[in-house]
Structure 1
Amino acid sequence: MRAALTSPAARPFRRAAALLAGLCATVLLAGCTTAGKDAVAQGGTFDFVSPGGKTEIFYDPPSARGTIGKLSGSDLMHDGKTVGVDDFPGQVVVLNIWGQWCGPCRAEAPALEQVYEASKNNGVAFLGINVRDNQKDKAQDFVTDNKVGYPSIYDPSMRSLLALGGKFPTSVIPTTIVLDKQHRVAAVFLRALLAEDLRPVVDKLAGEQS
């Protein structure tokens, strides 16, 4: 086998393979560079920090909170419609990153809906971000089956998450991010939630002076 690989007849194939590999590397590098620029442009002032690997991070006082970039995308349940954080001016916004393939996402869905229903009339909005679901109909079935009343961005490629900045751990699903009334990051949960985890946080933020 080694003799065949080093024979003169095999050399053109080896050169072609090397050229193809170099081309692929160039394309990948270009893609990473573009994404990096987008992340910087869209990232706002929020700088994610998780001391000691904590799964609950709170940013207080309010002056310590950073802003995210413009976060919006296609509405999962309404073709041709866009939904985003800017649709909820002056409101606390709970961002939940989820996928229908994610067991913990299914487990926390009733708790999120419970808090949404209890707090939506107190200036609290919810916005889901559906990721890594290339089959849109399955993600829509998740919303219907779990009776989710708030909108979600459909983002299988996770492009909208560039608005959270380059350091944010997009590999942790589910993740919940709570924005205050000025849409600054007030809390981050890198795990599935119970209603009693989230309700006190949104109530506190809803009661803050703008």
Structure 2
Amino acid sequence: MIAVAVLAICGLLTGCSAGHDAVAQGGTFEFVSPGGKTDIFYDPPSSRSRPGPLAGPDLADPSHTMSLDDSIFSGNVVVINVWGQWCGPCRAEVTQLQQVYDATRESGASFLGIDVRDNNRQAALDFVNDRAISYPSIYDPAMRTLIAFGGKYPTTVIPSTLVLDRQHRVAAVFLRELLASDLRPVVQKLTQEAPPGVQPPGQQGPSR
């Protein structure tokens, strides 16, 4: 049933796609798109689970391996966008993502791109620099990082976006191009959540 749902999604989306879906084991997250939906939300929070390991070379600095264990992501909501400079919808979407990043990073949101199927690193760097994109990306031309993510995530759908909560569990998946107005309320809602034992921003108890 999962395979049928994923095939239905890929046939309906207007984004860029190529190759075959890859399945990998890791974490406890399992992607399921009920009824072939392109916007999937995992609520209540107790229904969420963590993906497999996410790590790869920094697009801007090949000597640095980026991962969700980096301090810039610790305790934050993390928006993960799968993109390629060769993908038309990605070109339109990336500035929308930057707008949401600018609006939410002070509230505890981090962004991470995964640049896939780009065999020319410089072209990808030029893409982000020309658009003044200030959040980092993993350079993943062979899609090893995305495959290791696991959970039967449909790797043919580009662009796509995942949103992880502060515990780095998958809270939302978008299998389409996004506008800032699509993503911002989702990120803002998640930044109001917090790991167990930590009160969300703006909801501290009265001082004594």
5+ residue gaps, structure 1 = 1-34
The TM-score with structure 2 as length reference comes to 0.80
For 1:104, the equivalent position in structure 2 comes to: 89
- Write the distance in 2 (CA, Å) between the matches of 1:68 and 1:95: 12
Q: Distance in 1 between matches of 2:189 and 2:171?
A: 11
Alignment of 1:76 with 2:59, yes or no, is: yes
Q: Is the 8 A contact 2:51 2:151 kept in 1?
A: no
Query: Which residue of the other structure, out of 32, 38, 54, is the alignment partner of 1:49?
Result: 32
User: Which residue number in structure 1 is paired with residue 110 of structure 2?
Assistant: 125
- The correspondence of residues 157-172 of structure 1 with structure 2, limited to 5 A, is 157-172=142-157
Q: Deviations over 1:169-195 (max 9, x none)?
A: 000000000000000000000001000
- The residue identity in structure 2 corresponding to 1:175 is S
Question: How far apart are 1:80 and its partner, in Å?
Answer: 0.4
Offset, 1:165: 1.5
> How far 1:54 moved relative to its partner?
0.5
* Partner residue in 2 for 1:95: 80
In the aligned structure 2, how far is the partner of 1:59 from the partner of 1:185? 7
Q: Which residue of 2 aligns with 1:138?
A: 123
Q: Indicate which of 42, 48, 61 corresponds to 1:59.
A: 42
Is the 2:29–2:151 Cα contact (8 Å) retained in structure 1?
A: no
Could you give the per-residue CA deviations for residues 5-33 of structure 1, whole angstroms, max 9, x where no partner exists?
A: xxxxxxxxxxxxxxxxxxxxxxxxxxxxx
**Aligned twin of 1:13:** none
> 1:104-126, CA deviations, whole angstroms, 9 ceiling, x for partnerless residues?
00011111000001111111000
Match of 1:73, as an amino acid? G
Question: Runs ≥4 in structure 1, deviation > 2 angstroms?
Answer: none
Give 3-state SS (helix, strand or coil) of 1:57's partner.
Answer: strand
Whose Rg is larger? 1
Stretches of structure 2 lacking an aligned partner (at least 5 in a row)? 1-21, 196-208
| Maintained 8 Å contact 2:28/2:151 | no
Q: Distance in 1 between matches of 2:165 and 2:69?
A: 13
Structure 2: how far apart are the matches of 1:200 and 1:47?
24
- Aligned amino acid, residue 193 of structure 1: L
In 2, the alpha carbon distance for the partners of 1:155 and 1:203 equals 28
Query: Could you tell me which of 152, 162, 168 is aligned with 1:183?
Result: 168
CA distance in 2, matches of 1:179, 1:194: 18
> 1:161, 1:181 → 2: CA distance?
20
- How far the C-alpha of 1:209 sits from its partner, in A, is 2.7
C-alpha distance in structure 1 between counterparts of 2:185 and 2:151, whole Å: 29
The two structures, once aligned, show a CA RMSD in angstroms of 1.2
Q: Which moved more, 1:146-155 or 1:156-165?
A: 156-165
* TM-score, scaled relative to structure 1: 0.79
Please name the residue that 2:13 is paired with.
none
